[in-house]
Amino acid sequence: MRALPLLAPVHVLILGVIVLPAFYVVWLSLNASSFGRAPVFVGLQNYIQVLTDPAFRAALLNTVLLVVLAVHAEMAIGLGMALLFASGLPFRRFLLVTVLAPYAVSEVTAVVMWRFLFDPDAGPVTLALRALHLPTLDWSFTPSHALTLIGLLTIWLHLPFTFIIIYAARLAIPGELHEAARVDGASRWQIFRRVTLPLLAPAILIALLFRYIFAFRLFSEAWLLTGGGPARSTEVVAIYLYQEAFTFNAFGPAAATAWIMVAVSLLLAAGYVYLLRRQVAADAR
């Protein structure tokens, strides 16, 4: 009890930086407000307006598709790479730096770089694909191609995060366990399935959980690459929110969108949270 005042600065910080702004956003979401206009209480009207807006539903669908596909692709590639690195690659340190490098690149720089590389008329990647008679990504015209490019870019940018978590967990698995399995006659697949994967599961769950929540905020990649176009067809929820708040200055619907984003991302991650809790409970027993 006497130690309580010592913890107060942390509570004050959390209260000031997270709790109070969150309540303010709740209040905003229940009011109609803009610059130079006094807020007017409208109840749940902003939530209804956002949820019934076809543009929001399209943005939500795009976001869910991108998040689910990108996060799981990232997980599969990250896991494969972690196992490859752990199996003993030549030039491991150099390769490690190469794999981690995208995480050091700012999102804006990355998008500018990718825009240049995949320029539909003069991009080096486009020209190379054309020279090899391979199909190119017509991302500035075809919405599905644009979403594919956004997905690839987001995987490239965030793969290091997933990879490093799984790789660290893989290195923490004692070699004796694999050795014992081999002595017992287990095949490589059985070792992976029965030893490696269960021991990596907590790290995979943590990585998935974080990535689900972060990926749902996906903004720069889509905004800087396509601006949500053509005709709002590649818009994601964060762009919808940005437009409401900073282009249309409609703070009520923007705040409501923010809370809907929180709810949906938690809903998407709920399965993994449940698995994580079960894991923690099992460990405690």
Partner 1 sequence: MTDHSRFRLSRRALLAAGGATMLGGHAARADGKTLNVLSHKVHQTVLGTGDGDLMKDWRKANNADIAFTTFDSNPLQDRLFREASLAETEFGVGYLIDNRPTSQIAALFEPLQPRQDKSPIEDFADIAPGLVRGMTIDGKLIGIPVRHATQGLFYNEALLEEAGITAPPTTLEELVAQAKKTSFTSKAGTPVVGMVLASDLAVFPVMFARAFGGDFISADFKLVPNPAAMESGLETLRAMFEAGSLPRSYATTKNDDQVTWLQQGRAAFTVLPFARFAQLNDAGQSKYPGRIKAMEFPVAAALKGKTPMAAVVEAWAMAIPKNAKDKDLAWSFIREVSSKRVTLGMAINGNGPVRVSTYADPALQAKNPVAAVEARALANARGAFPPFPEAARAQATFLEEVQLAVLGRKPVKEAVAAIVTRVKPMMPA
Binding site for partner 1 (CB under 8 A): 34-37, 119-122, 138-141, 225-227, 229-232, 243, 246-250
Q: Specify the DSSP class assigned to residue 173.
A: S
Q: Pick between residue 81 and residue 225 the one whose CB is nearest to partner 1.
A: 225
Other C-beta atoms closer than 10 Å to the C-beta of 257 total 29
Minimum CB separation from partner 1 for residue 239, in Å? Answer: 11
Q: Pick between residue 126 and residue 265 the one whose CB is nearest to partner 1.
A: 126
Question: Is the Cβ–Cβ distance between 219 and 241 less than 8 Å?
Answer: no
Minimum CB separation from partner 1 for residue 37, in Å? Answer: 5
Cα gap 144→233, rounded to integer Å: 9
Residue 37 pairs with which residues in a beta bridge? 34
Q: Pick between residue 35 and residue 91 the one whose CB is nearest to partner 1.
A: 35
Minimum CB separation from partner 1 for residue 223, in Å? Answer: 11
Minimum CB separation from partner 1 for residue 121, in Å? Answer: 6
Cα gap 218→152, rounded to integer Å: 13
Distance of CA 50 to CAs 54, 151, 159, 239, Å?
9, 25, 32, 13
Tokens (6 digits) for 277: 């809790």
Q: Pick between residue 248 and residue 274 the one whose CB is nearest to partner 1.
A: 248
H helix intervals, 87-142:
92-100, 107-117, 124-131
Other C-beta atoms closer than 10 Å to the C-beta of 14 total 11
Q: Pick between residue 120 and residue 271 the one whose CB is nearest to partner 1.
A: 120
Minimum CB separation from partner 1 for residue 35, in Å? Answer: 4
